[in-house]
Amino acid sequence: MNFVTIKENVTAQIVEKKSKFIAKLYYVENQKEISNIIENVKKQYFDAKHHCIAYRVLENNSIVEKANDNGEPSRHRRGTNAKNFAKQ
């Protein structure tokens, strides 16, 4: 099965209309790692109004994916959502 992933963790940030948007990409091997990362990011950015997540991970030769916009208003999504972003 072909599965494209990242080689290293990446962080990017933009500011728009006085709002800060931080994107973090992590290389993981399984869903357990994802749970730990999400927990740590939520602690690190405890004052964030939204924690949107999306992931795709290869486990047991199957792709497992999940996305959650965490209540982000649709007018802020710019025509996409977290799950579609993870597939790019």
Q: What is the pLDDT of residues 9-59, one digit of tens each?
A: 999 999 998 888 899 999 998 889 999 999 999 999 999 888 888 988 888
Residue 79 has pLDDT above 50, yes or no: no
- 82 vs 27, higher pLDDT: 27
Hey, where are the domains in the chain?
10-86
User: Does pTM surpass 0.75?
Assistant: no
- Among 70, 53, 57, 8, CA closest to 29: 57
What are the tens digits of pLDDT across the range 56-71? 888 888 888 888 877 7
What is the per-residue pLDDT for 39? 93
Contact (Cβ atoms closer than 8 angstroms) between residue 11 and residue 24: yes
